[in-house]
Amino acid sequence: MPDQLKRFYGRIGLVLLFVAVLSAFFALGGNQWFSLEFIKENRDRLIEFTERHYLLMLLASASLYVASTAFSIPGGAILSLTMGLLFGRWLGTLVTVIASTLGALLVFLAARFVFADLARAKLSKSPMATKIVKGFEGDAFRYLLFLRLVPLFPFWLVNLAPAVTNITARTYFLATLIGVIPGSFVYVNLGQALGEISDIKDIWSPEVILSFTLLGLLIVLPALLRKNHTEPE
């Protein structure tokens, strides 16, 4: 079978898998499981089961997080809170960072493999999209790190957008790994007090958002100053 035909069938297979997983998730009521109410109602059961099957729950939770991120299933915030509830702030943060990074990398690779050519053609017609793409190609690491640190855009969107740029998988992985640490720690740390949280939106206070924004600016500011300094008068 020619390589081109193999790639075509591979792309079709990935699309069908993506659609099948999402369809099964919503058909089986997965959106109800990934809710704050469900976790709070089953808090004691989850803790008890984790104490009896610690390693199993650790592996299962990490795998579930990778899969939910890879298939862009909504509920990452709930999973991060649950990590804190079940495994504490430090181990919970470690697992969340690794799992979310691996899941994001799978999204990136799949998007580049399946949709890159079509997406690139569409984005080239939009001046705003073209500017964003150039931001990645200029200093991809700092740019992606800024997007990860500052919660301006949905996590799944930041996972997909770089796939149409020239950013390398290694740079994408490293920037994502570092960039998700602060946000992951915020959610996981609060997960220990899950019973006191009434709404996910309560986590993102103006102070927290401001802190992340300043941290993001600290990352990109040196690159901006260096660019302005080197540009000819």
pLDDT of residue 120: 67
pTM assigned to the model: 0.73
3-state class (DSSP) for residue 133: helix
How many CB atoms are located within 10 Å of the residue 36 CB? 17
Can you tell me the distance from the alpha carbon of 66 to that of 96, in angstroms, rounded to the nearest whole number? 9
pLDDT of residue 165: 84
Question: Using an 8 Å Cβ cutoff, are 182 and 215 in contact?
Answer: yes
Give start and end residues of each alpha helix (H) in 34-180: 36-41, 43-52, 54-70, 76-114, 116-123, 127-138, 140-149, 155-160, 169-179
Q: What stretches in the chain show pLDDT beneath 50? A: 222, 224-233
CA distances from 208 to 149, 186, 196, 216 (A): 11, 9, 18, 12
pLDDT of residue 122: 62
Q: How many residues comprise the chain?
A: 233
